[in-house]
Amino acid sequence: MQGLLDRLGYALIGLFFGALIGVAGWWLYGVAHSLNYDGPGMDPVMRHWVQYSGAAFAVLGFIFRARAADAVADTVSGILHFEFNETPGQTASALVLCVALGLVIAAIWFTSPSLR
């Protein structure tokens, strides 16, 4: 019984995040507010996007439990990469560059003699 309740809990979490992805999908592609999609709106009815996306991620949550979060994250990542028209490695290299720059600034800051 506890396993079923756990699965239902993960299904509810999947439903919530799937509904959020459905709202994003409706806004970007249903009513054509996307940065990269140039065609007409696919389906302007928000209920369809939220209902089907929420149901799909609820089923994933029920079946795969905590691993369904990977599907949610991959979907959000795919939407963001499509909208910003970047390759997946580009974000990682920019992050590495920022961390390296921060380390260089910290090294210079802490090794420079004080001006007292």
C-alpha distances in Å from residue 44, one per residue of 28, 41, 47, 88: 10, 6, 9, 29
- What total of structural domains would you count in the chain? 1
What residue numbers bound the domain in which 13 lies? 2-111
**pLDDT cut 90: percent of the chain above it:** 40
C-alpha distances in Å from residue 75, one per residue of 20, 56, 70, 71, 81: 11, 12, 8, 6, 10
Report if residue 43 sits inside a domain. yes
Host H or E run for residue 52: helix 46-64
Report if residue 52 sits inside a domain. yes
Q: How many CB atoms lie within 10 A of CB 113?
A: 5
Q: Output 38 or 62, whichever has higher pLDDT.
A: 62
Report if residue 95 sits inside a domain. yes
Report if residue 116 sits inside a domain. no
pTM (two decimals)? 0.68
Predicted confidence (pLDDT) at residue 60 exceeds the cutoff of 80:
yes
C-alpha distances in Å from residue 23, one per residue of 31, 55, 96, 102: 11, 13, 32, 36
Report if residue 82 sits inside a domain. yes
Rounded mean pLDDT of 86-91?
A: 62
